[in-house]
A and B are shown apart, each in its own frame.
Chain A
């Protein structure tokens, strides 16, 4: 269960303060697929980053499985992400010096899993990249890179999968493929999936749709 209470995020922009999230409260039950949509600059990615503990709010609290992550230090947050959260980025963010296989392996090695290699092979198979595992990110297409990123996000069998515009850098065919892959994995592994997208058609396929505007939730509906 993810609970956001009165979340506000203010950043400094030049000499002025800019409010990105303004008193946002939200509850996401376990296993739910939520799509967060909104215009550019509405605060979608920031919201996702705060849930993942990639950044800290100016005020408010975030509870993940009853743990207040706003009170955690860097290493505590890293441990939380390692154990419970998977993240997929718009621009993939694979480590360029590692092969596709090694990129999937990394989270499991961080956690110290013994059967990491076998699981990485299985994940490669799940995203249909068995024969591309030894390739470096620069040798893969955008779609392939995002599939590797999804496999990496699922590596530690997280309870929560956060995806920030995962199809934003892909053509529609590849975008649909990636979306199907994520929903399929969501269904199979019963993870909580929070998807940020401005593609309303894709967002419409989620169980719940939250719309942000100027840092505030203007709509929260089940679809």
Chain B
């Protein structure tokens, strides 16, 4: 044992520099896993730590319309009997435009308006920006408490008045963090007012976008009560949500996100593992003589393998610890760079459990990937000290190696399953990784074959460089695989980003309106159109809309208490804006059934449905949908299915009725303007319309685009961050591979120098070799990135894909340059070695 420990210590002391790449490969992989896991866990603690606080209640009943007397009585029939109800509260929410009451201030912004009652919040703490507790009195008599950022957005201050709908509200105070948090996609900053102020501002009259909630606090577990309530509310569109389910859903979501991100981390760690494998192989090659000496001195193969295995484990452990340090650095960087976009209470410290997992993974990956190379030690015979028969026998695969190979593979599957939280996902991950690697490897193989025929066309240096790629023990394909994979991930993300940004860049879409005006009354439409005509010089398009809810499908009510339906809360049960017209829109096409003839009359109401909603509602042509329009039920038969080019449409209606049914139903109008209007006149136009028609809501595409752009940017940044880790791993593998063939390169250079080659020629060979390698890796990486971005765009995101030649070219050139510089830099000292010493030592 002494021998093993002492030799391990001495070997680490002398070899740590050579094994630095090993160390870094593990550190980067572990760092990415620990950073990603900790980030998600911290985010989970900050936003989803307590679902009760998130809901601000124990259970909630949600509705997208005013609660009807029948609904209230059904609720009361259950809740009234319960003895665990402690408190009740109602909220009402809508996204609406707000502006300063002072007319000289031309700022207009969307706000997320929330009407509350004195008991708000039932659960949780609500504090103002200065730390004092929120007092409902602040909202009385048209007071408002707003998110502090709104002051900046509207250029107003506490004490000023803002106009929302038809009423002015005095800003009485601000807050930084609201009860229930501020997560999710939201158009505008939060503004709290009294519930009854919604009526005073005329907001409840004409809009279908209002969300209402009744919240309850209970003294005991509400699960049973929620079950009874769901039973009682069967057949209504109300949805009941309990904090326990929310907690479960949140935990599940965060766990899933964490597991998927960990798989990304595992990908980096597996790449690190490839580096470890390479370094271990090189290490064993270099240690052949030492191993033979040890065997000659009487040490058995098992003891020697134990020494090197222990060394690998120690280095894997230290590398993993370093990785935890890197992860902490990454979290601090995220804090420095993104703290504004993340919850204020979020911690940026590495989580103990993540660090533990990361270290365990680092050590296990070190072990799995170094086991096979270390097994070569068994085959090293002490007789090589007398007669060096290198090569052939060392490469032979014996049954023990096959067994260990299989064990390593099983270990890897187990690790992936552990990280993914599911054997199936773990197995898919490995199969996917294996398939990607095989394809990249195949491409590398094919390209290197093709390249061979080019060497006769190049200069001496190029021919030598090409030759170097085929030297015995060359690492060409492994470098192409690793660097190609890095380039592939980064460029696929970049390419997707370009396509996504183009997709959401509404400014270039002539058919996408710049402004939408909704909730226009029949009496207002002509005057509003005239104003728009006068101020923009464009004839606005106006469309009649009717508000409707889906009541029955094929005569059957939708079960809103069903778990899956509840998860689509606010989608199926919401109020839809539907229209009627004789013609198809320019950007619509019928994909099933036939569009109705222009002048003929139908025997029964007919409706056209959007293709995505056909899938969502699981309906087909011939099925019927019963709509509830202001309490009146209209049953319409689906006669055709439309596909809408959402990215290029003025308006996109999910349901379109055949003329003849809805004309007499209560309706409002939507108007749109296509013209791109500069910011100041646009703000003035909005103010003008708001002054004249306070009930009309105006949606500015630019506002939406800014939010979407920010989401895309964050998404791209997050993936690029991970991608850069992959590139880093690729570079480490490259450097490791350079080290692996270095002794051969030194010898070749010595021979070439003896034969008269100048240092400049040798440098040219070096640059040409890595330049060619980089070029091939760039072609492979970008080629597959283009393919991936095409398939993801067309089939997953369902957006138009466009080939970006500049990005592709830049990808190839940057990869070439990077590999050339890194590869040449790692081998540059070879040029300065004196040939005699090298030749003597051979």
Contact = CB atoms under 8 A, between A and B. Distances in A.
B381 interface: yes
Contacts of A109: 2-3, 6-7
B771 to A, nearest CB: 35
B591 interface: no
Contacts of A102: 10
B172 interface: no
A79 interface: yes
A93 B289 contact: yes
Nearest to B15: A97
Nearest to A80: B298
Contact of A89 (B2, B6, B300, B385): B385
A26 interface: no
A75 B302 contact: yes
B294 A95 contact: yes
A107 interface: yes
A78 interface: yes
Nearest to A89: B385
Interface stretch (A48-56, A140-148, A210-218): A48-56
A89 B385 CA distance: 8
Q: What 4 pairs between A and B have smallest CB-CB spacing?
A: A82-B298, A97-B14, A109-B3, A55-B383
A27 B14 CA distance: 43
A30 B385 CA distance: 26
Interface string A102-127: 10011101111000000000000000
Given A54-B382, A93-B293, A98-B14, 8 more contacts: A46-B387, A79-B298, A82-B299, A93-B289, A96-B290, A106-B7, A109-B6, A112-B3
A93 B383 CA distance: 12
B301 interface: yes
Contacts of B290: 95-97
Contacts of A22: none
Interface string A48-87: 1100101100000000000000000011001111110001
B557 to A, nearest CB: 79
A217 B381 CA distance: 27
A83 B383 contact: no
B833 to A, nearest CB: 15
B385 A112 contact: no
Contact of B297 (A45, A49, A106): A106
Nearest to A164: B386
Contacts of B301: 74-75, 78
A95 B290 CA distance: 5
B385 A97 contact: no
A152 interface: yes
A102 B383 CA distance: 23
What is the predominant secondary structure among interface residues of chain A facing chain B?
helix
14 contacts: A45-B386, A55-B383, A79-B300, A81-B296, A81-B297, A89-B386, A93-B293, A106-B3, A106-B297, A109-B6, A110-B3, A110-B294, A152-B297, A164-B386
Nearest to B289: A93
Contacts of A152: 297
Contact of A49 (B295, B303, B383): B383
Contacts of B14: 96-98
Contact of A46 (B6, B10, B300, B386): B386
A152 B296 CA distance: 12
B297 A110 contact: yes
B11 interface: yes
Interface string B299-310: 111110000000
Interface string B550-568: 0000000000000000000
Contacts of A46: 386-387
A4 B2 CA distance: 36
Interface string B22-33: 000000000000
A204 to B, nearest CB: 24
A80 B296 CA distance: 10
Interface in A31-50: 45-46, 48-49
B842 to A, nearest CB: 13
Contacts, number: 87
Contacts of A87: 296-297
B385 A55 contact: no
A55 B302 CA distance: 19
A98 B13 CA distance: 9
Contacts of A93: 289, 292-293, 296, 385
Contacts of B299: 78, 82, 110
Given A95-B293, A106-B294, A75 B387 contact: no
Interface string B656-673: 000000000000000000
Contacts of A112: 2-3
Contacts of B303: 110
A134 B141 CA distance: 88
B289 A74 contact: no
Given A95-B294, A97-B10, A54 B385 contact: yes
Contacts of B297: 81-82, 87, 106-107, 110, 152
Contacts of A52: 296, 382
Interface in B463-511: none
A49 B301 CA distance: 18
B385 A107 contact: no
A193 to B, nearest CB: 17
B386 A78 contact: no
Contacts of B2: 109, 112
A86 B603 CA distance: 108
B296 A54 contact: yes
A93 B290 CA distance: 8
A109 B289 CA distance: 19
A75 B381 CA distance: 12
Nearest to B6: A109
A118 to B, nearest CB: 15
A84 to B, nearest CB: 9
A118 B385 CA distance: 29
Nearest to A55: B383
A22 to B, nearest CB: 17
A95 B296 CA distance: 12
A54 B383 contact: yes
B309 to A, nearest CB: 17
A146 B729 CA distance: 43
Given A97-B14, A97-B290, A98-B10, A111 B298 contact: yes
Interface in B130-146: none
Interface in B279-330: 289-290, 292-303
A111 B14 CA distance: 23
